[in-house]
Structure 1
Amino acid sequence: MANTTDPTLAPTGPTYGWCDWHEGPSGTAVLISVVEQCSGPGITRYACAPCREQRRLVPYGQQP
């Protein structure tokens, strides 16, 4: 059985997310909101640093 917690086995290189506000790829996208639904998967929305600054969006983990 492989050891999946070994940090040397983690993929290297840049990882890119998706910004739902400007609808494009981003290296700075963080989770902004989670919309839960009664049935089926919920929806998550991510925003990049420029969109967060322009729209005064607060990351999900820092919201009250």
Structure 2
Amino acid sequence: MTASAPALHTWCDWHAGPSETAVLIDVIEQGSGPGITRFACAPCREQRGLTPYADRR
């Protein structure tokens, strides 16, 4: 699965609910321990102008 492919029943961090259209938006790396990933569904991406992580360059 690629970072921009929709994940079934992934949690949307913006509306705090499950989504079938959520994709990876942000990866927050931490110096110690695992990093944090944030996902957003299609409506939240559109409303907030969020760019999928895989589309950034």
The TM-score range, normalised by the shorter chain, is 0.7 to 0.9
Corresponding residue number in structure 2 for 1:35 = 28
Matching of residues 39-50 of structure 1 within 5 Å: 39-50=32-43
Identity of aligned residues (%): 70
Which protein is bigger by CA-based radius of gyration? 1
Provide the aligned length of Structure 1 versus Structure 2: 50
Q: TM-score, normalised by structure 1?
A: 0.76
Superposed displacement of residue 36, structure 1: 0.3
Unaligned runs of 5+ in 2: 1-7
Runs ≥4 residues deviating over 2 A: none
Q: TM-score, normalised by structure 2?
A: 0.85
